[in-house]
Chain A
Amino acid sequence: MSNPSGPSHRNVASIRSPPSTNPAAPASPHTPLRTITSAFGSPSAIRAEEEHVIIELGSRYLRAGIAGDALPKAVLDFGPDSQRRAGDYRKWSVGYDKAWRERIREGEWGEPYELWRPDLRGLDLGLVADKLERAVREIAKYLIVDVRPRRVTLVLPSALPLPLLSTILDTLFTSFLTPTISLMPAPGLVPAAAGLRSALVVDIGWAETVVSGIYQYREVQSTRSTRATKMLGEEMNNMLAEMIDPASSPAASEDPQNSKHARDVLSFEECEEIISRMAWCKPVERGEHKAPFQGLTPVKEEDELRASVRSLHISSAEETDPVVSIPLASTKSCRTLRLRFSKLAEPCEKVLFADGTAPENLDDEEMPLHLLVYRSLLKLPRDVRSVCMSRIIFVGGGSNLPGLKRRVMDEVAILIEQRGWDPVQGKAIDGLRNNPKLQRTRSRQASNSPTPVLHLDATPASMQDQEPDEIGTVLNKQARDRDPPNDMGQLRAVESLGAWSGGSLLSHLKIPAVSVVEREQWLLHGAAGASRTGEITVSTQRQSMGPGAFNVKSGAGDRSSWTLGLWG
């Protein structure tokens, strides 16, 4: 405060700090530090009473609640029953459950239950807006809020297409008079809701499984696979249909018409119910994986071997595999399906772990979960990896499958044990490693070379320890004094409360989001008015010290430029 008598500054400052402490720091440019809990730390606490609605949107569910709640108060789905005309009460009529076959005919399995699908071609955005609007009006019933202007925080998947985002924003702004909407990325919030700064978030969602590496609250990497709950549901449906009515099996004949038959056997709701109640995931069978990975045996043979081992294993475990009976109502006649308990784990094996498919035959977008996790860990830089691998968080609908988390963790551990952190694998490299001749010549070359420092031993350069660096050690030591070392290096899974709770937590702590969209500006410009994230961070130097995904925000009064953050 070069000019302490500057009226404007002093006036504002003296509002909060008691006058007695002011003379104590005559030339200090720094008002006395108060121990403030952030909830009351700013004049904006006047507005603390204002409720802040958090909405998390996924392709099938909408979660909503008020900031500061641990769990969302309303979870709504977009099933066909909620999409009827107002005043259409046929849902309650007798025999409604039975008549599901007429209702769902089109599209893929489960498509009428989605708000959007990843493939936006041919998607009616107006319909998405309609569905969303109805759902948000429904929220008001659960949250006991009115549609008075209130701030909304949207928690969105980080790879949401711009047309969808702009539809969502349009809907919220035009029909709910929201003054501002903050956008937060779901994967970034998941570690926040676990008390962590970095994590590997495995989101087993509906249409796809997304593995995002989060480092210091920033999303540094994201890989995805189509092996997710939708595929699992379809597989479960086919399996059950085959058990109920063997003629309907799509495998029995190659006729594509037959997959429709499989869909006619069991309703979507019932299939989903069976998944949520009875599906499970087998633990790793230790024996088969113990054999070290060798490129010498052809893969097919190995697969056969595995299969035989598995069948042996199952037959031996017959006693621990009881018959479960599942009452079915949506089949043509009510009946009870009796099947082995292990059968209910098969769709999971087949879909999420790509059992029965050689890893070589898998496309990039259909990696099984354990490979996906391993690969994304592998792709991360080394130090990030070490932090992330001990903070693996499973979220999403699929993560509720009993036994799944453990299975993925075990599989990844085995993969690491087998392959280490070496991206190169296959017959050739194994041959190279195992070939004693090559080893010898290489080491001899190395010893013959003029620089003996570069002596090559068994560990390749990428795996060697870092050279000690004096400055680095000092810095590290300082850092450690401030911040004791975190758990790193060993594989560990952490539970998170989920993205919604993360959003609720951060909004409650009044941490501003990357992008705050204001109503006026959105209605004026639409998505085109948003500036790129980079531009904002450069132009406003004030907040340059604020890293982290949640707080790159333009200055207090300056809201003229805004951004859509990572969606823009």
Chain B
Amino acid sequence: MASFAPYAYIQCPCTESNLPTRRLGSESPTDPLETEQEEPTFDPRAPRANYSLYPLEHLLYCEDCHQIRCPRCVIDELVACYCPNCLFEVPISTVKSEGNRCTRSCFQCPICIGPLSVSSIEAQRDGLGAEFAAYGGPYVLSCGFCNWSSDEIGIQLDKPNSIYNQLAKIRHGGKSLTNARERRKEREERSKLGYSPTIEEEGGSEDGQEKTDLNATEDFDAESQFGNLKAFYQAQLSESSPVSSLGLPGDYSYGSPGALSRIMGLYTGSSFADKKSRTKKGIMREARDAPEGLHIFSPSSDEEAVNRLRTEGWGNTVSTTQRKEQSEQNTHFLSDLRPIPYLLRTRRSKRCKTCRHILSKPESKVHSTRFRIRLVALNYIPSITIRPLQTSSSSLLRPMKPTQFLLTFKNPLFDSVKVNIATAAKTPGRFSSKVTVLCPQFEVGANTDAWEEALREGGNKGGEREKRRTKAEASEGQHQAEAGKVWERGRNWVSVVVEVIPASLRVQAPAFLKSEELQKDESPLREDEDVLEIPVFVRVEWEADPTHDDTGGLAAAGAKDKEVKEKRELAYWCVLGIGRIARD
């Protein structure tokens, strides 16, 4: 709160075409006529404003639509995918098959998300050549920040590499985890020996015994249960004939027997196909035991959890942030945590949503940070910087005291631009401050070559800029800014003065001082309500050279009217955060 950096946010024009604000059954339905006639001033404090405001640095610019593009109105495409830890590039097809995590040896600490390193449990040998000696024996993953080690959850590794694959096979406490295929194989062997679900009834106690055994050996982590269920459903779907089953036709195509016989049925009435389907009609049954994915709730596990909670207390439970990082969402105790494989990062190219032109395309090589195409808005629309005109000792704005600020517009284009800025006289919201822009219309010079400018200045009319400076300084001495005049001007920038009278933040003010909104809502000050934010409508006009961005044949065609320049304009809302108002 102590320090406040003034900021300028830009509202992407795409928001206007977005969903309108609808309130269901609100007390006073807004009159559509009223809203149509006059476009309401943009309120930066409205809850929806947060979603449409972006700093200039986050915006792109489409050269074909001549429009600002925000993250909401671009389409992104994957260019490359890599692990942020080992910077190893992962092909996108691999991501599809193996998931969104690094499958090598990169892991994060489940406690503090620091990177984990592999170390040997064996004591380090001292002396010369110790670092060259190969450590043998079991390895653990350990965190350099919080000293967590995978030993705490009973996991030790045999090899120092390809840890992801090793971990996938180890359960907590070091027991090995059989993967789905092995289990299925095992199950098939067992069924060959005589265990089959259909003879369960006659089997009596013996079968029951085996069933419980099966349940006991099965592990209930989500991954394996899901695998079991998938296998079970697939088996059921293929068993029940595609014609009849309870409407689980795998496909609609003519190629499928089911569809064919249905088509036949159209002409021959309910003949063969129907009879057939009736006899074959088998209902997909339910899963019956753990290998099929059924997981019966056991009350004892619940009781156990409560007992653990009672004995181990707060210190052994997982915090919500730690839990969020885990893939299993209901880990409750520290001992259930697993190392987190690093989430892969992506590089994306961006396209304009309306014209599909590429706006930004990074190099696909992970190690290079260059861009092939990068049309950032910073190079197309004037940037705005804010600073107070008078330097005051306090960083806070005094309520009810007129304060002047300098807005500096810097033009990145090679053409000079005309800028119009407009604000409402009062800022929206409960505490409305008065705002006056002293010079709402001005022209900002082109961003020509700096050297050229310097030479020109040094040559014929070098004194001009100097003169302005001195004039400005003189007026600064008097603390006066003239209305309708630019404060200061440079090669490609212009400063204008904005005067604000910050509102008083007192909620319990006398009634005549209060705004309408405040009279309606007298709740205490909310977050950021003390920040003086000015919505400014900025309109930028410039005459671009059409031959400049079109090339080749078009340039030849345009040669005859070379003098004609294309007029462009851009208009958008912008929010200036001036400063915090002091509370009195």
Chain A: residues with CB nearer than 8 A to chain B?
1-2, 9, 12-13, 15-16, 29-39, 41-44, 49, 51, 68-71, 73, 75, 83-87, 95, 99, 102-103, 105-106, 120-127, 129-131, 133-134, 137, 140-148, 163, 167, 170-171, 174-175, 177, 193-197, 216, 269, 272-273, 276-278, 280-281, 283, 320-322, 324-327, 341, 394, 400, 402-406, 409-410, 482-484, 486, 492-497, 501, 504-505, 508-511, 542-543, 545-548, 551-552, 555-556
Contacts and interface: CB of A to CB of B under 8 A. Distances in A.
A122 B317 CA distance: 39
Contacts of A494: 294-297
A325 B315 CA distance: 9
A483 B254 contact: no
Contacts of B52: 130
A9 B263 contact: yes
Nearest to B201: A484
Which of B21, B52, B247, B309 counts the most chain A CB atoms within 10 A? B247
Contacts of A510: 250-251
Interface in B38-97: 47-55, 57-58, 71-72, 75-78, 81, 92, 95-96
A400 B238 contact: no
Interface in B329-362: 329-330, 332, 343-344, 346, 348
Contacts of A326: 314
B240 to A, nearest CB: 10
Nearest to B44: A85
A400 B330 contact: yes
Given A38-B250, A43-B255, A105-B526, A144 B48 contact: no
A402 B71 contact: no
A482 B284 CA distance: 10
Q: Sorted from nearest, which 8 A-B pairs have the closest CB atoms? A: A546-B247, A42-B251, A195-B287, A70-B226, A556-B252, A493-B297, A41-B250, A402-B305
Nearest to A506: B233
Contact of A548 (B200, B201, B246, B295): B246
27 contacts: A2-B268, A30-B257, A30-B272, A31-B255, A32-B257, A37-B238, A38-B238, A43-B251, A71-B328, A75-B329, A83-B51, A86-B58, A87-B55, A134-B51, A137-B71, A146-B76, A195-B293, A273-B320, A280-B309, A400-B332, A402-B306, A483-B285, A497-B225, A504-B226, A505-B226, A509-B234, A511-B248
Contact of B51 (A133, A405, A551): A133
B40 to A, nearest CB: 14
B359 to A, nearest CB: 14
B276 interface: yes
A16 B258 CA distance: 14
A105 B241 CA distance: 60
A41 B234 CA distance: 11
A144 B297 contact: no
A242 B71 CA distance: 45
Contacts of A508: 230
A277 B254 contact: no
Contacts of B348: 146
Interface stretch (B22-30, B162-170, B396-404): B22-30
A125 B24 contact: yes
B246 to A, nearest CB: 5
Contact of B230 (A147, A175, A278, A505): A505
B293 A15 contact: no
Given A71-B328, A277-B317, A556-B253, A163 B24 contact: yes
A70 B297 contact: no
B314 A278 contact: yes
Which of A34, A321, A495 counts the most chain B CB atoms within 10 A? A495
Nearest to B316: A277
Contact of A195 (B26, B50, B55, B232): B232
A131 B72 CA distance: 12
B580 interface: no
A171 B18 CA distance: 9
B253 A42 contact: yes
B265 to A, nearest CB: 8
Contact of A120 (B25, B261, B327, B346): B25
A177 B524 contact: no
Contact of B19 (A171, A495, A556): A171
B259 A325 contact: no
Nearest to A502: B229
B252 A125 contact: no
Nearest to A34: B257
B560 interface: no
Contact of A167 (B19, B249, B323): B19
Given A163-B22, A195-B293, 16 more contacts: A41-B250, A49-B96, A70-B222, A70-B226, A85-B9, A85-B49, A121-B26, A123-B23, A126-B22, A194-B287, A278-B314, A403-B302, A508-B230, A509-B230, A551-B249, A556-B253
B420 interface: no
B310 interface: yes
Contacts of B318: 277
Contacts of A15: 255
Given A142-B100, A144-B78, A38 B234 contact: yes
B121 interface: no
Contact of B523 (A13, A105, A341): A105
B19 A125 contact: yes
A555 B252 contact: yes
A269 B319 CA distance: 11
B20 interface: yes
Interface string B260-282: 11111001100011001100001
Contacts of B71: 86, 137
Contacts of B242: 36, 41
Contacts of B234: 37-39, 509
B580 to A, nearest CB: 12
A504 to B, nearest CB: 8
A301 B288 CA distance: 47
A38 B237 contact: yes
Which of B20, B268, B302, B317 counts the most chain A CB atoms within 10 A? B302
A283 B303 contact: yes
B244 to A, nearest CB: 7
A473 B79 CA distance: 64
Contacts of B309: 278, 280, 341, 402
B31 to A, nearest CB: 18
A129 B309 CA distance: 40
A29 B255 contact: no
B429 interface: no
A147 B75 contact: yes
Contacts of B227: 70
B241 A175 contact: no
Interface in B358-394: none
